[in-house]
Amino acid sequence: MASIKTFLLLYLLLLYICNNNELLSAARIGIGGYWEILLNSSGVVAMHMALTNRNTVIMFDQTGAGPSAFYLQHRIDGRRCTTSYQDINDGTCWAHSVEYDILSNSIRPLQLQTDPWCSSGVLLSNGTLIQTGGYADGYRKVRYFMPCSDKSCDWIESNSELAADRWYASDQILPENDRVIIVGGRRSFNYEFLPKSFAEEEVFELPLLRQTDERRVEDNLYPFLHLSSDGNLFIFANQDSILLNYKNGKIVKQFPRLEGSRNYPSTGSSVMLPLDHSDGFKKVEIMICGGASPGAFNAAKEGRFLNGLRTCGRMVITDENPKWEMERMPAPRMMNDMIILPTGDILIINGALQGSAGWTNAINPELRPLLYRPTDTPGNRFSYLEASKIPRMYHSTAILLPDGRILVAGSNPNERYSYTNVDYPTELRAEAFIPHYMDSFYDDQRASNLQVGEGTNLVRYGERFTLRFMLMSKPKNGMGFHVYAPPFNTHSISMNQRMLKLECVELVREVNGAARAHLIAPNAIAAPPGYYLIFVVNGGIPSEGQWLRFIH
């Protein structure tokens, strides 16, 4: 009798589950998301990565890395590559840059003339990727990639060069007419601009970089840069940071020290939390997480792998008396990337638990992404997500895609392409992390078919513009309209990444699920000119992103 009752109870439970889509979907989705392999080989190591407004991703590594996994038919000078021993070992017959097409999930080779190893970059207002510096013959080079629809575009090198060597430097786009500031680099304790204001303009000294290079410890390479909404530039190097008026070269503010080693080669990561229209985008809060223990780089060379840092610091740099508010991640992490999700939450992904950046300098990969919810109460902000099966160590990258997925690629902790007899082989697989919010279970509350303006995606600063979309359910309270500037990502630094939460002055629901939102564009300091992705976030569920372009 008991067995019959048990059978009936199990049958009824199964029947209930099979007819309860919500329960089924919750069991399938989980809050941790899931992973998907996109490419078994990207051809080159995605040491550097950037999303373009043509929905492609530019990936590249270093020309001096030897043969890649993408053999070319012709050299850049037009000479044919053959199967001869000489050509097989000729680095110019191998691609070190590719363009990945998101829709077709395919790659095509691009040709680099000089070495962009450990370089910097930024997207200009017309969508052109400008790429600065690198190694050896690339120290002072400026490269351009203008994405195109017919797939005929390739890298172009400028005839003009930088004024100083820029190896491990950082770039920031400025509000004025595609002006870029380039800060730091190995043994370059200065900054410069592109384009130059006048022909003889060279470099400007930055004492912060020299001071943070005491005893040649470095840990101040790839300085963290964030353009503040007051028009000044936040610069963080090693443990110290300043607010620089880049127009006159004067330091506006010096900030308290953040303990621990944070920049390359200790390699933590930084992010500017989303700006909000409710205060006129005036509150600017910087968050820095992870890094290596002091001395970790030299210890790793001796075979000792020190634990990474568990701490994160948050500081409102626009406060009158700013200070770091400290939090602890569930575990140590270094070489981590910090990506702003369409929701405004922060994804902390990639990296290792012990060691330092550099070839063979780290062990114990951290396979689990962390979700950080900035608006939750302290102590409840971190949560682990579904783990990847692929270690992403030194030279790995991560960027947000327009549909809300996270593209993760790269990892070459070895001096050249090495696949055997190493602890962590060179990794050419590209994968996507799919957050839970992308599951079809949420489609009824997901906005779709976004359209900016009246047949154009151009939006002028400070003006009211219309966003049309479809939404089959009733809008949730607190519907958000978020614009996102895609970064140039390399070495755990996402240059120029920023998000703004725009003001909606009117939301109108029309027939058959159509809706239109009347939004107010920000100013050029809060959002420098260029292409942004706009997302509609309804009850925590984002739409796919639609491109718009802020112009003067």
Q: Sorting pLDDT into bands at 50, 70 and 90, what band is 3?
A: low
Please tell me what DSSP assigns to residue 346: E
pLDDT mean over 459-475: 95
Output the CA–CA distances (angstroms, integers) from residue 174 to 3, 73, 179, 288, 530, in the order listed.
Answer: 73, 40, 5, 22, 11
User: What is the C-alpha separation between 168 and 490, in angstroms, rounded?
Assistant: 10
Which bin fits 240, alpha (ψ -120 to 50), beta or left (φ > 0)? beta
User: What is the C-alpha separation between 216 and 213, in angstroms, rounded?
Assistant: 5
Q: Is the pLDDT of residue 447 over 60?
A: yes
pLDDT at 84: 84
399, 463: one domain: no
pLDDT mean over 394-410: 98
Which bin fits 106, alpha (ψ -120 to 50), beta or left (φ > 0)? beta
In a domain, 17, yes or no: no
In a domain, 22, yes or no: no
User: Residue 36 in contact with residue 434, Cβ under 8 Å?
Assistant: yes
User: Residue 485 in contact with residue 532, Cβ under 8 Å?
Assistant: yes
423, 546: one domain: no
212, 82: one domain: yes
Strand-pair partners of 515? 469, 509
What is the count of structural domains for the chain?
A: 2
Q: Is the pLDDT of residue 253 over 90?
A: yes
Query: What's the token pair of residue 492?
Result: 């755990």
Among the ranges given (361-375, 393-407, 446-460), the one the predictor scored with the smallest mean pLDDT: 446-460
User: What is the C-alpha separation between 463 and 346, in angstroms, rounded?
Assistant: 29
Q: Sorting pLDDT into bands at 50, 70 and 90, what band is 197?
A: confident
User: Residue 68 in contact with residue 110, Cβ under 8 Å?
Assistant: no
Q: Sorting pLDDT into bands at 50, 70 and 90, what band is 216?
A: low
User: What is the C-alpha separation between 407 and 285, in angstroms, rounded?
Assistant: 26
User: What is the C-alpha separation between 158 and 180, in angstroms, rounded?
Assistant: 15
Q: For all residues of the chain together, what is the average pLDDT?
A: 92
Q: Is the pLDDT of residue 11 over 70?
A: no
Residue at which a domain ends, from 400, 420, 438 = 438
Strands of 346-349's sheet, edge to edge?
337-340, 346-349, 370-372, 382-384
Range of the domain at 477: 442-551
pLDDT at 526: 97
Q: Is the pLDDT of residue 428 over 60?
A: yes
Residue at which a domain ends, from 438, 472, 500 = 438
User: What is the C-alpha separation between 365 and 433, in angstroms, rounded?
Assistant: 17
In a domain, 20, yes or no: no
List the Cα angle 413/416/417 in 5-degree steps: 85
In a domain, 132, yes or no: yes
Residue at which a domain ends, from 415, 438, 461 = 438
User: What is the C-alpha separation between 220 and 239, in angstroms, rounded?
Assistant: 8
List the Cα angle 416/419/420 in 5-degree steps: 115
Q: How far apart are the first and last CA of the chain?
A: 79
User: Residue 97 in contact with residue 110, Cβ under 8 Å?
Assistant: yes
Amino acid at 546: Q
377, 521: one domain: no
pLDDT at 227: 98
Q: The domain spanning residue 176 has which CATH number?
A: 2.130.10.80
In a domain, 139, yes or no: yes
Q: Is the pLDDT of residue 5 over 80?
A: no
Amino acid at 246: Y
Q: The domain spanning residue 492 has which CATH number?
A: 2.60.40.10
pLDDT at 7: 46
pLDDT at 22: 37
pLDDT at 25: 37
418, 273: one domain: yes
pLDDT at 309: 97
Instruction: Give the containing element (helix H, strand E) for 99.
Output: strand 97-101
Q: Is the pLDDT of residue 14 over 70?
A: no
In a domain, 358, yes or no: yes
221, 318: one domain: yes
In a domain, 3, yes or no: no
488, 434: one domain: no
315, 388: one domain: yes
Q: Is the pLDDT of residue 16 over 90?
A: no
448, 432: one domain: no
Residue owning tokens 């939450």: 345
431, 457: one domain: no
pLDDT mean over 284-309: 96
Q: Is the pLDDT of residue 342 over 70?
A: yes
415, 468: one domain: no
Helix (H), strand (E), coil (C) string for 396-463: EEEEECCCCCEEEEECCCCCCCCCCCCCCCCCCCEEEEECHHHCHHHHHHCCEEEEECCCCCEEECCC
